[in-house]
Structure 1
């Protein structure tokens, strides 16, 4: 039961927005856009085959903007709006049917979660290293 409490405490800490200036906001948006563009390209290559990377650069800002704009709302709302926006961006940018767009969106979400967990645990592991 204590494991579930620690998960709840971690979730509350992650969605609490922090104060920052315009430069911090722009920097966060650019980094998130690049992360989402990278994972969108991986997903599109996995599902569609050989696609130009430049298209993924148009997909990345959509979930990045949703993440930043909806950070004060419940996590489920941010995920729902983000997935819908991601699906619409993928359909528009890659010009695919709805079923294929949904598959690319699911793979994009999965790759993003996996990469985010790897980066998170890498940061946690490196933060415990002796100086």
Structure 2
């Protein structure tokens, strides 16, 4: 029979759990670990290593898609040119990604901010492609638009494949 003061969800003989301060010394972290640092970081944790890996993966993605677009538009081109031009739009898109989020600016439509980030990335891509492939700006515009198309298609495909989208 359950008494009115006992909780129906509590085990019959519940003992109070020890607090974190009452743990023995063998369970405490080693002395070289600062107590304010987390012992585990999730996969998308911050830091310089995460930023560097994100930058390198973005550069690789832009280099592959730019090389595909340049091969389709210009013909046979060395892949080193795409690898040379790819860090510029990668850097711009990573630096401006915070402005593409909904809470980045008060009173501004988020879709407008995303459009401005895409426009700035395309402009940086145009300047880098024009310089690296030695094209005039007018001649580089179709290549940049083709690069944008390849990047969008491959990005959506990879996002769906990895379950991100």
TM class by shorter chain equals 0.7 to 0.9
TM-score, length-normalised on structure 2? Answer: 0.63
Alignment partner, residue 158 of structure 2: 119
> Relative to structure 1, is the Cα distance of residues 104 and 67 closer, same or farther in structure 2, using a 3 angstrom cutoff?
same
Identify which of 49, 52, 70 aligns with 1:26: 52
* Runs of 4+ residues over 6 Å off in structure 1: none
TM-score, length-normalised on structure 1? Answer: 0.78
Alignment partner, residue 41 of structure 1: 67
- Counterparts of 1:34 and 1:59, CA distance in 2: 11
- Counterparts of 1:98 and 1:71, CA distance in 2: 25
Unmatched segments (≥5 aa) in structure 1: 1-17, 126-131
Please say if residues 81 and 132 of structure 2, whose CA atoms lie closer than 8 Å, have aligned partners that are also in contact: yes
Please say if residues 127 and 137 of structure 2, whose CA atoms lie closer than 8 Å, have aligned partners that are also in contact: no
- Counterparts of 2:141 and 2:51, CA distance in 1: 30
Greater RCO (Cα-Cα under 8 Å, separation 6 or more): 1
Alignment partner, residue 68 of structure 1: 94
Residue 83 (structure 1) shift: 0.3
> Which structure has greater helix proportion?
1
**RMSD, matched Cα:** 1.4
- Counterparts of 2:145 and 2:64, CA distance in 1: 15
Unmatched segments (≥5 aa) in structure 2: 1-43, 100-112
Alignment partner, residue 83 of structure 2: 57
- Counterparts of 2:114 and 2:45, CA distance in 1: 19
Of 71-80 and 81-90, deviating more is 71-80
Residues paired across the two proteins, number = 108
